[in-house]
Each structure stands twice: as structure tokens, then as C-alpha cells.
Chain A
């Protein structure tokens, strides 16, 4: 199975700071069709996950442009510039390139 290793486990920030989360895969996530099915989700307490980024770098409708996804192959990053209060929660990367699909272990973004 593909293992997604997220770092850091937790991230303490001041509002307005930049935050960066890494997601490293044990195998390349480029599918045979040329697409890379790597997504980022944010889960706030008591809520279902919400999609932020799909196919590495595409922002979902309504997601602010301070969320930037990048990477290729096995190495991916989610950057949040100018963290705002509504950005706090747990971030997960998820891969749908390989079966079984898998989530990273999560990164908790909290206030310093």
C-alpha cells in the first residue's frame, strides 16, 4: 500500500504567518493517464473533511488563493500564506492514484 508521510505532525503559527505542510509518498502518484491524484483536505473539529486542493495544485471552488499546492512524483507541499482563524484544524493529504487509496496521518494547524 502507498504510505503518505505528512510532516510536521503539528504546526503552531501566529495569525498572518505562512504555514507549510509536506506529504511524501512511498511511490510515485502519477497515474498512467498522466494525472496525479493527490488531494488536500481540512477537517475542523466536529466536521466532515472539506476539499482544498485536488490534482496536486488545483484549488477547489471557493478555496482562497492563499492555499497553494505543489509537487510531483512523490513529494508534495501545501502552503498557506497569511494564516487566518478559519484555517485552523487538521490537514490531510490523500492519494487516489493507487488502490487501496490512502490518507496521510494529518497535520494539526494551531495557534501559537
Chain B
């Protein structure tokens, strides 16, 4: 059974950084792309970017290029996303998802990030 285990809720102060994790079991992340998506309170889904864990190549949505940094550790089968220079607008649920050739196969349950002083 494939499972994506995301790290727990984060409370970050403005201007600081947080690093979220997404540990995958039952699926080798070398064989897929790991995507990240966010959802601000009461809003829609927003694609942040993806990483190819096999080589570390990344693609970001323009607005997240200086906000998010995606990495992956194939030895622990875990993907990471660091969010920097936190602002209140970064308050959201952040989902990781595995994407095969055609669609998002599996999703994590999401990590709530709250930015507040």
C-alpha cells in the first residue's frame, strides 16, 4: 500500500523559514515526480512545483520561485519543501503528491502551515 506521510503542523513567525517533509512508503520516489500543491484557507488548489528525485531537477510556478525550495532524499524516500521568508499569505495547507505518467496517483494528507507573530 502506498502512503505519503507528511510532517506535522507548523507555526512560523514572519520572516522565518519552515521545512516540510513527505515520507513515501510502498513506492520508490526515484521512479516518479513529487509535486507540491497548496490551499489557502477557503481558497482553491495552487500548484507550487515538482521535483524529479532521481536527478534533483525542479520546476516551480513563477510565484514560488523565490519562496519554495524542493529537495528529495532517495535514501529515505522522502521529499522536502522549504518555505522561506514566511508571510501571513503563506498560511495554507501544503500537499505533496506522487505523479506517474498520466495523473496524480497518490496524495499526502497535507501539512497546515500557520504564519503568525
B104 on the A face (CB < 8 A):
yes
Distance between A72 CB and nearest chain B CB, rounded to angstroms: 17
Asked if A102 CB lies within 8 Å of chain B CBs, one says yes
Point out which of A90, A99, A100, A106 has the most chain B C-beta atoms below 10 A from its C-beta.
Answer: A100
Q: A51-B104, A96-B99 are in contact. Are A1 and B62 (CB under 8 A)?
A: yes
Nearest-CB distance from A54 to chain B (Å)? 4
The answer, among A51, A58, A92, A99, for a CB contact under 8 Å with B59, is A99
- How many residue pairs link A and B with beta carbons under 8 A? The number is 56
Q: Evaluate contact between B45 and A49: CB separation under 8 angstroms.
A: yes
Q: Which residues of A have CB within 8 Å of B46?
A: 103
- For A54, give its contact among B59, B102, B109, B110 (CB under 8 Å): B102
B44 touches A1 (CB 8 A): no
Q: Would you call B95 and A102 a contact (CB within 8 A)?
A: no
Give Cα A43 to B97, complex, Å.
14
Contact string, B98-111, partner A, CB cutoff 8 A, digits 1/0? 01001110011110
Q: Which residues of B contact A96 (CB under 8 A)?
A: 99, 103
Query: Which chain A residues numbered 35 to 72 have a C-beta less than 8 Å away from chain B?
Result: 37, 39, 41, 43, 48-51, 54-55, 58, 60
- By a CB distance below 8 angstroms, the chain A residues around B109 are 48
With CB as the reference atom, state the residue of chain B lying closest to A60. Answer: B103
Contact with A along B32-56 (1 / 0, CB 8 A): 0001010000001111011000000
Asked if B2 is at the interface (CB within 8 A of a chain A CB), the reply is: no
Given contact pairs A103-B45, A103-B46, enumerate 18 new A-B contacts (beta carbons under 8 Å). Answer: A39-B103, A48-B95, A48-B107, A92-B44, A94-B45, A94-B47, A96-B99, A99-B59, A100-B47, A100-B60, A100-B61, A101-B47, A101-B50, A101-B61, A103-B37, A103-B47, A105-B44, A106-B44
